Chains A and B, each alone.
Chain A
Amino acid sequence: QKEVEQNSGPLSVPEGAIASLNCTYSDRGSQSFFWYRQYSGKSPELIMSIYSNGDKEDGRFTAQLNKASQYVSLLIRDSQPSDSATYLCAVDYTGTASKLTFGTGTRLQVTL
């Protein structure tokens, strides 16, 4: 059973701080990794993808991947109240036909 683990939270950070969201996965053969943001009552929205070890930055978001430790993280710099949402980690084990396995998500609360 391939699994993706996330702390459900809530993770509470003050406005302007760095939010760090973590995810571990069970299958070393995993190929692709994704972070989705889901606001309450809405559908998941893709915000980051990462495929190789290291960091990938996009605006205030940085995804970090460590395949040896089977660990992927998402950093959100200068957190804003509008970042308050549930962040879903997703892993593509197949590398081909896009079969994503999702974690339960971490709820982030950015406080004023």
Chain B
Amino acid sequence: ETGVTQTPRHLVMGMTNKKSLKCEQHLGHNAMYWYKQSAKKPLELMFVYNFKEQTENNSVPSRFSPECPNSSHLFLHLHTLQPEDSALYLCASSPQGGGKAFFGQGTRLTVV
């Protein structure tokens, strides 16, 4: 375990469903991230939060909605997704100002 826990580990959802991904870190870090990993593509940064404030939105479609209630928790709310959104969604955290990101186990999302 890396200290970053994601739930659920697997999720299958229809295009009209609404679901949420959860991430919790126990490392005392101040920055949290959502990444998307698709086959044959580099990890794509989606959102960055520093001290619960969103500091980066990497042109992510509005059907993905992040929420960071505190420095330890991060959510990704999903609605009306498309099949091409099927991917591994990874949460990560890092210390303030540091580049060492620690990843959770990921959520394997399948949109049907």
**A residues within 8 Å of B by Cβ?**
4, 31-32, 34, 42-46, 49, 88, 90, 92, 96-105
Q: Which residues on A sit within 8 Å (CB–CB) of B90? A: 43-44
Q: Could you write out 22 A-B pairs with CB less than 8 Å apart?
A: A31-B99, A34-B101, A43-B2, A43-B90, A43-B104, A44-B90, A45-B2, A46-B101, A46-B102, A49-B100, A92-B99, A96-B97, A97-B50, A97-B56, A98-B48, A98-B97, A98-B98, A98-B100, A100-B43, A100-B99, A100-B101, A102-B43
Main secondary structure of the interface of B (DSSP, over half): loop
Interface mask (B1-39 → A, CB under 8 Å = 1, otherwise 0): 010000000000000000000000000000101000000
CB < 8 Å neighbour of B45 from A31, A45, A99: A99
* Docked-complex contact A4 and B99, CB < 8 angstroms: no
